[in-house]
Chain A
């Protein structure tokens, strides 16, 4: 267990269901982005959200840690509803790491400085403690030699690995990924997916919005197919990719050129 990317929570008392979405709805004016989503994410599970563009995957992910407000419905984290109280919301956000499509590294901080930001400002770690933690995480994502680089001097794949390390520095219980490889050159996608795969192997609970069907197929425990703000099918990857039950899933996969 020394070589793991995450500290597993000592989880006897923690509930089995980490995130529960209960009838989550989101409207932008007349437009319905989420039309009542019900979903459970269990501890240690990797859940992949797939579906056509505009189907509401990112919106659901942002509702998970309160970056987006729901029109109605409820999201429970460890059995606690997401609150309107900003202090409680911040406490929940600290325990959910988030990785963005465009990395969103802080350009005025080095790779190391990016990773130290959360622990120092939010967790109150000393600079020394934060540095130790950041150096260990950089090593885990294979970027020890880039500690002093600014984001401008990192490739896309390297930036995304730093962004993953930045999220892990908060020692979260859950990691949320929003199309983490969509902005990457094909040759750097693999290095990011490898880091995510190791994270999954270490037992991290992960919710991943992705268009990488091979990754979903190999790594996911549970695949959720979205269309028009609704879940049209969910199940183990074997079911979704080899024996889809709905025409919406079949249409989506064949549209992507997926042939099993």
Chain B
């Protein structure tokens, strides 16, 4: 078959601006889900029993529902159910973050629980408070231990943005769809898209792996 590269070259600006939206959405999802996922984990581990129960229910539901369903629900059902009408980008940001936060919460919880109980005892023996022990002893080590899992979550944060195409967020996938439709060159366009996602995500996960290999001793008690 003949490759029609001009289909890609003629609209590279259009595609790149789509990639910009993808990265913006991914960055927003990362920050929001890390923040709320950490809060969920802390609430589950150290909160009152009723709060733990609510959080466990939330995490279990989010892990049992496809992210696409959450997205579509937030965009089409939430406005009718609550009157809250969010534009596509914000709907995507909210639903993807809410979904990923459940996974972040599990990673953070496992990280915290993997720190040896002797470390907490050492802090207690010094006369430190529970909060000081958490902040200065447990969390720093847990963060190091969580790094490899964070690498996977980060790549998920980028990849999941592609489904925002179904509610017409103008990210990379949506733009590629449009270009492919106009130029009748799906092979060229979608191959380019694959390569672009790979170029973004591969260094992210590899970079985190490399950092982890260099600092893992900071979390090894």
Contacts and interface: CB of A to CB of B under 8 A. Distances in A.
Given A121-B132, A152-B217, A108 B127 contact: no
Interface residues of A, number: 27
Contacts, number: 70
Contacts of A107: 141, 217-221
B121 interface: yes
B125 A67 contact: yes
B221 A93 contact: no
A132 B129 CA distance: 24
B79 interface: no
Contacts of A242: none
B87 interface: no
B61 interface: no
Interface SS of chain A: mixed
B206 interface: no
- The interface size bin for chain B is 20 to 34
Contact of B136 (A98, A104, A121, A170): A121
A168 to B, nearest CB: 11
A215 interface: no
Which residue of B126, B128, B129, B219 has the most chain A CB atoms within 10 A of its CB atom?
B126
Interface string A87-103: 00011011011101010
Given A100-B118, A170-B126, 20 more contacts: A90-B127, A90-B128, A93-B124, A93-B125, A93-B127, A96-B125, A97-B125, A100-B121, A100-B122, A104-B116, A104-B221, A105-B122, A106-B122, A107-B141, A107-B217, A108-B141, A117-B126, A121-B126, A121-B136, A122-B127
Interface of B: 116, 118-119, 121-122, 124-129, 132, 136-137, 140-141, 144, 217-221
